[in-house]
Amino acid sequence: MIVKRRVAIIAALSIAAMTALIVWKPTVLIYGLQAAGLYAAVAIPMGLVLGIVHIVNLAHGECMMLAAYAAYFGCKALGMDPLVAILPTAIVTAIFGWVVFQLTIRRALKAPELNQLILTFGLAIAFSQAINLIFTSQTYKMPLEYVSASMDIGDISFGVWSFVFVAVAIIFAYGLTFFLTKTMTGKAAVAVGQNPRGAAIVGIDVYRTYGLVFALALALVGAMGALFLTKSAIFPGVGSPFTMKSFCLIAMAGIGNIPGILGASVLLGVAENFLRAFRPTRDWAEIVFFVLIIVVILARSLKGRKS
């Protein structure tokens, strides 16, 4: 009961805050939501891997970066639009994910958790520096007209394209929830995530499931990479901030709570854009994530200690 009341209070407070924000600084809310969509869409696949394979993939953002490069050069070669490239990129990155899993992560699953952390850290460096090696630190961008579409409401004007990220985040969150709760494969994956030994006893191939989940996550990241390319310039380091941000969102939502990532990302996206809206605080927007990640982790560890 107390928990329910607390949730109700938090919900009421946040609705009040949002309403106040709409009236006072509508663009903060609009851009905040757009940013939230992007963050959540990237974080959800990482949450899937963390929830089931129990690996913090520090190369997560780099995987998106690789996908964006693949999409860019695919589009250039074939004259495609990045939107058309979404599916092919997803397939390619899924295969890539499967291979990476089999070659590296699978071998480290039985090692101490810290080895896995260092391993994916190494992968992150290898990926971003390989791109740096091949394409240098030059930036690439797709010239696309539809991304600058804007909308006017009253006397404010804002870009609307980025709402596509919000849509994708919602599709990812609810699509995955459906997959994990309603399909056989999904249920098996959840079973493996909760109790690998038990799952193995009832005949589920644990490593195959891990590999599939990792590949699925990379497929989503790949799709996001192509979509990211529509909006943003790409360079070797473009993915790395997303790793930390994704981890932060997952830690806030709680590992295994995929829809919770949506809520957490709204909080962060709006907070960042709120700071960005004022000149004196503009430069501090970047710090929000890092402060929150520490606060969230410390709070969770204190809570864990009590129970």
Partner 1 sequence: MNRTASRIFALLFGVLAVTLPFFAGDYPLQVARNIMMYMALAITWDMLLRSGQISFGIAGLFGIGAYAAILSVVRAGMPAWFSILFAAIFAGGVAFVIGFLILRLRAMYFSIVTLALGEIFRIIIHNLHDFTGGPEGVVIQKGVVFGGKANSLYWLVLAGLAVAVAASTWFEKSKIHFALTAIRNNEVSAKSSGIDIFRWLLLAFVVTSAIQGLLGGIFVQSYGFATPDAVFSADFTLLPLAMALLGGVYSTTGPIFGAVLLGLVSEWLKLKIPYGHLVVYGIIIVVVILFMPQGLRQLVRRTPHGADGRSA
Rounded least distance, CB 93 to partner 1, Å = 19
**290 contacts partner 1 (rule: CB under 8 A):** yes
Question: What Å distances lie between residue 157 and 102, 103, 148, 273, CA to CA?
Answer: 49, 49, 12, 16
The answer to whether 229 touches 142, Cβ cutoff 8 Å, is yes
CA dihedral 180, 186, 188, 194 (to 10 degrees): -30
Tell me which of 8, 122, 148, 198 binds partner 1, using CB under 8 A: 122
Site string for partner 1, 32-71 (x = CB under 8 A): ------------------------x---------------
Q: Which of the ranges 68-76, 102-110, 174-182, 192-200 carries the binding residues for partner 1, by CB under 8 A?
A: 102-110
Q: Which of the ranges 17-25, 128-136, 178-186, 270-278 carries the binding residues for partner 1, by CB under 8 A?
A: 128-136
- Angle at Cα 125 formed by Cα 221 and Cα 69, nearest 5°? 45
Which CB, 6 or 107, lies closer to partner 1?
A: 107
Which CB, 108 or 160, lies closer to partner 1?
A: 108
Rounded least distance, CB 79 to partner 1, Å = 28
First to last CA, the chain: 18
> What is the C-alpha radius of gyration for the chain, rounded to an integer number of angstroms?
20
**Burial readout 150-185 (b: 16 or more C-beta within 10 A, e: otherwise):** eeeeeeeeeeeebebbbebbeebbeebeebbeeeee
Q: Footprint of partner 1 on this chain (CB under 8 A)?
A: 56, 104, 107-108, 111-115, 117-119, 121-134, 136-137, 236, 244, 247, 283-284, 286-287, 289-291, 293-294, 297-298, 301, 305
